Amino acid sequence: MNEKPRQPAEPDPNQPGQTALELINTGAEWLRGTGRACDVVVSSRVRLARNLAGFPFMPRASRVDRQQIVDLCHHKLMEAELADRLLWIDLREVSRLDRNLLVERHLISQAHARGKIGNHSVTGGRTGEDEPRAVAVGLPGERLSIMVNEEDHLRIQVVKSGFALAEALTEIDTIDDRIEARADYAFHPRFGYLTACPTNVGTGIRFGVMLHLPALKLTGDIEKVTRAANDMSLAVRGFYGEGSEPLGDFFQISNQTTLGKSERVLLHDLEHEIIPKVIEYERVSRRQLVERRGEAIADQVHRAMGVLTHARLLATDEATRLLSQLRLGVAMGLIEKVDQQVVHNLMLLVQPAHLQRASGRNMTQAERRIARAELVRNRLAEAVTRRA
């Protein structure tokens, strides 16, 4: 069969896409800074890996296969009524900047943005940007996102604010049932749902929790938590998941294997055994810091607030580090005129793609440092005024 790749319209990287602006303006539920254990837990995520019966898995699928999968998923997902509104985004038809914005919002993976499966491009080209792939985003709130043609045909995820794995599981089960009522999944009666990676075979489920662990980092105990998690076959990753580094003392902990364990067993282990212990370790470390180094911690937090409210130049890493310290101060009651939602929103808005899309133009790194500092100053001043 002759494969004729589709030629998408060339996006203009200098014009802010309507999709990007719409997402920036609607906001995401996981940024609210509310929910159980929200002093430590930023968000809870449940993700399902699913593949369509009758199609090769992604590493073996031809370009024609991959395009047919995108077209079929578009049709099936849009008719399934999965959210108040389902925003379909063909990733070939948006600029690289907008794809980076979707990564920053945790709606797609870095590999998905680049058109790659794991570390391998699925094309013979250098970037894979023209690969048939998409994401569907549930609005309002962005609790739901579905990556099409990432490592599996479908990667379905639900994200909620705070420690809410059980609630996220209930929601994603309903969504999964609605999709399965319209699409045939690759399923084996003995092994369960079949996936491209053997570690996902079975339920195909991953539970993940994003935690803010600055006290454990300051006390030097974070490596103990990491080692203990690895011993329990858990993955500890950075702010953007697999392959990313911790950003601002934010860590993601998730199960690594699914075969042989039911959803309820995996949920129980994380929700009642593992994550509560990590939360308690962090809280104990915070109390110890106050008891032993109270003035030093208060000074660090207020210095962060001072820099953020007066700086004229801010790099991404510096802004993220200072906002992490500010979040610790808010959680410990040392900063009273700023709430966690303000900090979370700023954590997102200082990232390069968000900063440029909010400004409506591409900027050099030097211009971004100026714009970032101005944005942070203005947002914190507004927050303090509202709480005055």
* pLDDT, tens digit (0-9, with 9 covering 90-100), for 52-107: 999 999 989 999 999 999 999 999 999 999 999 999 999 999 999 999 999 999 99
- Number of C-beta neighbours around residue 80 at 10 A: 18
> Is 30's pLDDT higher than 80?
yes
> Is 126's pLDDT higher than 80?
no
pLDDT at 387: 77
**Res. 131 pLDDT band, cuts 50 70 90:** very high
**Res. 200 pLDDT band, cuts 50 70 90:** confident
- Number of C-beta neighbours around residue 62 at 10 A: 13
For the entire predicted model, the pTM comes to: 0.88
Share of the chain above pLDDT 90, in %: 71
265-269: average pLDDT: 89
Task: Give kind and range of the element (H or E) at residue 154.
Answer: strand 154-161
Average pLDDT over the chain reads: 88
Residue of 388, 286, 287 whose CA lies nearest to 338: 388
> Is 139's pLDDT higher than 50?
yes
Residue of 187, 102, 203, 98 whose CA lies nearest to 148: 102
The phi and psi torsions of 255 (rounded to 5 degrees) equal -75, 150
**Res. 14 pLDDT band, cuts 50 70 90:** very low
18-281: what fold?
A: Creatine Kinase; Chain A, domain 2 (3.30.590)
> Is 368's pLDDT higher than 90?
yes
Residue of 100, 104, 175 whose CA lies nearest to 138: 175
Q: Note the pLDDT tens digit of each residue in 210-259.
A: 999 999 999 989 888 888 888 887 888 876 655 556 677 999 999 877 66
Structural domain boundaries of the chain?
18-281, 285-387
Residue of 171, 68, 85, 69 whose CA lies nearest to 136: 85
| 48 neighbors 183 (Cβ within 8 angstroms) | no
